[in-house]
């Protein structure tokens, strides 16, 4: 749409570099979490954090490893990019196993060898279990469900699955919808083929999918419309720590990574932010669906690059519909207002807690 390949020099090389950065940071965030949890758990008990972190990382890689015939080794994208809670639990348990054996009466060398062997065996068993779960082909059944149902049932399905995705993200568990649109499921492929055939995406067969609603209008800055929370904190919050975290989180949030805010504020398991975290995306999807039903905006049917900033997904996916971009901007402003009272509530709770500590 922007003709980038025609005017940007070394566009292929730049794309390669950015993909490397993306896949080694945001796309495998959980491996940093498992190392950090194992490291700091061991340090809390005055043990060697480096060894615990390394063993935790090893166990998580074993669990995430996927064996695919005739291809290079790959790791589960679900665990690497969305399995934050699983990584934290694994890191903690690995550290506790090492701590237990370090406090035992075993000979010095066996205090390391035995727990590492136990961790590796258990991790391998969990890997086998995850392999059988993947064979169920849940994404295929999900796509078929959307394909078989009427548009109104598809809308209710997308709204409910979007709500569940954000709720599970608040719990650091990957939800039914992925972090970014893939455009490889059956409805998305059908929409794209229809748009390419007719030259527009106004009359595609599947108007309500995770791509057309959730990713295009409800995933700005990552789950929970995280970029709205960042803006709300920077404008209205008086808590310096939250403002600093938000400033450092702007860049990853632009590319739909919410982990720094989830852990830094924290939003993770924080009841103060639960309501806006799940309701703001739901509101966005309902309004976007209304605009689509009224035929005011086309459907996002064209593929967008991975990591595209959230507000631009609907714009690029509709091949440059300015009304879609304006709608996204308006929804973002409303989302900031939705977060506003909860940001002030968080500040008030922190202030009262500080006063209690001083007394």
Question: Which H or E element spans position 74?
Answer: strand 74-75
User: Can you give the pLDDT of all 359 residues of the chain as single tens digits?
Assistant: 667 778 878 878 887 887 787 778 777 888 988 999 999 999 999 999 999 999 999 999 999 988 766 666 788 877 887 788 889 999 999 999 999 999 988 887 888 899 999 999 999 999 988 777 655 545 545 555 555 555 667 888 899 999 999 998 898 877 788 777 777 777 888 888 988 888 888 888 889 988 899 999 998 988 899 999 999 999 999 999 999 999 999 988 888 888 889 888 989 889 999 999 999 999 999 999 999 999 999 999 888 877 788 888 999 989 889 999 999 999 999 999 999 999 999 999 988 876 665 65
pLDDT for position 135: 57
The Cα 210–Cα 178 span in angstroms is 9
User: Could you tell me the CA-to-CA distances from 299 to 188, 193, 291, 321 in Å, in that order?
Assistant: 11, 13, 10, 9
- pTM equals 0.78
Q: In which residue are the tokens 């989302």 written?
A: 335
Q: Within 10 Å of residue 153's Cβ, how many Cβ atoms?
A: 13
Task: List the one residue out of 232, 226, 321 whose CA is nearest residue 277.
Answer: 226
User: DSSP state, 205?
Assistant: S
For residue 52, what are its two tokens? 């615990």
For residue 334, what are its two tokens? 């409303």
The Cα 174–Cα 166 span in angstroms is 9
**Per-position DSSP letters for 284-327, written without gaps between them:** HHHHHHHHHHTTSS----S---TT--HHHHHHHHTTS-HHHHHH
């Amino acid at each position: 749409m922007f003709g980038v390949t025609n005017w940007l020099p070394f566009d292929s090389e730049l794309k390669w570099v950015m993909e490397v950065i993306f896949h080694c940071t945001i796309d495998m965030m959980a491996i940093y979490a498992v190392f950090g949890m194992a490291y700091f758990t061991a340090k809390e008990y005055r043990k060697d954090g480096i060894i615990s972190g390394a063993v935790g990382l090893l166990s998580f890689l074993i669990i995430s490893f996927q064996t695919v015939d005739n291809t290079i080794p790959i790791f589960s994208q679900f665990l690497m990019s969305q399995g934050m809670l699983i990584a934290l639990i694994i890191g903690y348990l690995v550290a506790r196993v090492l701590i237990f054996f370090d406090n035992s009466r075993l000979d010095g060398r066996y205090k390391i060898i035995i727990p590492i062997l136990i961790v590796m065996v258990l991790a391998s068993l969990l890997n086998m279990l995850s392999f059988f779960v993947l064979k169920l082909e849940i994404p295929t059944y999900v796509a078929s469900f959307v394909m078989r149902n009427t548009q109104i049932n598809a809308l209710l399905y997308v709204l409910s699955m979007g709500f569940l995705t954000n709720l599970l993200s608040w719990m650091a568990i990957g939800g039914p919808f992925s972090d970014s649109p893939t455009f490889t499921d059956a409805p998305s492929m059908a929409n794209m083929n229809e748009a390419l055939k007719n030259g527009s995406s106004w009359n595609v067969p599947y108007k309500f999918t995770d791509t057309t609603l959730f990713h295009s209008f409800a995933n700005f800055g990552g789950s929970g419309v995280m970029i709205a929370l960042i803006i709300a904190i920077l404008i209205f919050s008086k808590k310096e720590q939250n403002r600093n975290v938000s400033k450092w989180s702007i860049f990853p949030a632009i590319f739909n990574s919410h982990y720094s805010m989830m852990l830094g504020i924290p939003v993770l398991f924080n009841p103060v932010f639960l309501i806006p975290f799940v309701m703001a995306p739901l509101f966005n999807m309902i309004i976007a669906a209304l605009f689509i039903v009224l035929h005011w905006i086309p459907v996002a049917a064209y593929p967008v690059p991975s990591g595209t900033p959230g507000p631009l997904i609907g714009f690029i996916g509709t091949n440059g519909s300015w009304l879609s971009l304006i709608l996204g901007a308006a929804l973002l402003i409303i989302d900031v207002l939705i977060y506003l009272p909860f940001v002030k509530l968080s500040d008030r709770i922190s202030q009262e807690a500080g006063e209690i500590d001083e007394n």
